[in-house]
Amino acid sequence: MHEYRNLFDLSGRVALVIGAASGIGEAAAHALAAFGARAVCADLDVEGAARTAAAIAGAGGDADPLYLDVREPASVAAAVDVVGAPDVLVVTPAINVRRPLLDIDDEAFARVVGLNLGGTFRVLREFGRGMAARGGGSIVVLSSIRGQVVEPGQSVYAATKAGVVQIARTLAAELGDRGVRVNAVAPGVVETPLTRQIKERPDWHRAYAEKTALGRWAAPTEIAGAIVFLASDAASYVTGACLYVDGGWTAIDGRFTPPL
């Protein structure tokens, strides 16, 4: 009989979480460690990564901090030397520039694309090589509802978030025969440092809550469960997928409640 109770057990596995200093990455590191993984908490903000690792250790988990700037090839190469081929790779870093497309200059375009798309591509390539050579592993990249539905001011961000899904799908096709699964998670509105400016505008914050079926924003911990699922054997036949964790936003996008 299949031992279903062990589907989410990550004991003995190494999970590299990039962007672990705050937000979804921080929550993911905690969640993966809670299921038994050794969490390598990587971030450009290495002090924040160290706080996350210390909190995990304080809760009885196993974690280490690591400096990593996904924009810099040398930094990624150094991280590969330290970590090797992780069993789980989670990639969360992203930035947004909220401006009309006609007002976005080349520098802002390059900055958003360089981190969101270029950084994700770089770490998938470099860590994916070792995972493929070993013959197994799970990669989870963070997309967004903006990879599917947009609004004014989201052009470059939305393009990168659609792009990381297609990179993940392609890598899933290329590495499937070597036992490496690659998936994306697309959150809706989540209370993170990236969305702080919205929280400071009550009307904007409330409008976004009302666009979800659940009528509220998500906490980072509510995205972590999806990441644990995709990282674990519970998702052993899931690859090339994009899992929406959006409170129903994309299901009811543009909804109108008719007078039934």
Does pLDDT of 185 surpass 80? yes
Q: Is residue 42 part of a domain?
A: yes
Q: Is residue 250 part of a domain?
A: no
Q: Is residue 215 part of a domain?
A: no
Spatial CB neighbours of 67, under 8 Å, sequence gap ≥ 6: 42, 43, 44, 46, 49, 75
Give whole-number Cα distances, 128 to 122, 131, 171, 178, 231, in Å. Answer: 10, 5, 9, 11, 15
Strand ranges (DSSP E) for the chain?
14-18, 38-43, 62-67, 88-91, 137-142, 180-187, 242-245
215: left (phi over 0), alpha (psi -120 to 50) or beta: left
> Which residue has tokens 């870093």?
93
Q: What are phi and psi of 10, to 5 degrees?
A: -110, 20
* Dist CA 149 CA 151 (whole Å): 7
Higher pLDDT, 11 or 201: 11
Q: Is residue 118 part of a domain?
A: yes
Our count of domains for the chain comes to 1
From the candidates 4, 157, 237, 244, give the one annotated as an active-site residue: 157
Structural domain that includes position 175: 7-190+222-244
Q: What are phi and psi of 254, to 5 degrees?
A: 75, 25
Q: Quick: pLDDT tens for 135-176.
A: 999 999 999 999 999 999 999 999 999 999 999 999 999 999
Q: Under DSSP, is residue 83 helix (H, G, I), strand (E, B) or coil?
A: helix
CATH of the domain at 159: 3.40.50.720
Does pLDDT of 1 surpass 70? no
Tell me whether residue 67 is one of the annotated catalytic residues.
no
User: Which residues sit opposite 185 in a β-bridge?
Assistant: 142, 243
Spatial CB neighbours of 59, under 8 Å, sequence gap ≥ 6: 30, 33, 34
Average pLDDT along the chain: 96
Q: Is residue 202 part of a domain?
A: no
Q: pTM of the full predicted structure? A: 0.95
Q: Is residue 17 part of a domain?
A: yes
Cβ distance 159 to 146 under 8 Å? no
* Dist CA 140 CA 231 (whole Å): 7
Q: Is residue 258 part of a domain?
A: no
Higher pLDDT, 196 or 88: 88
Q: Quick: pLDDT tens for 190-243.
A: 998 777 788 889 898 999 999 999 999 999 999 999 999 999 999 999 999 999
Q: Is residue 196 part of a domain?
A: no
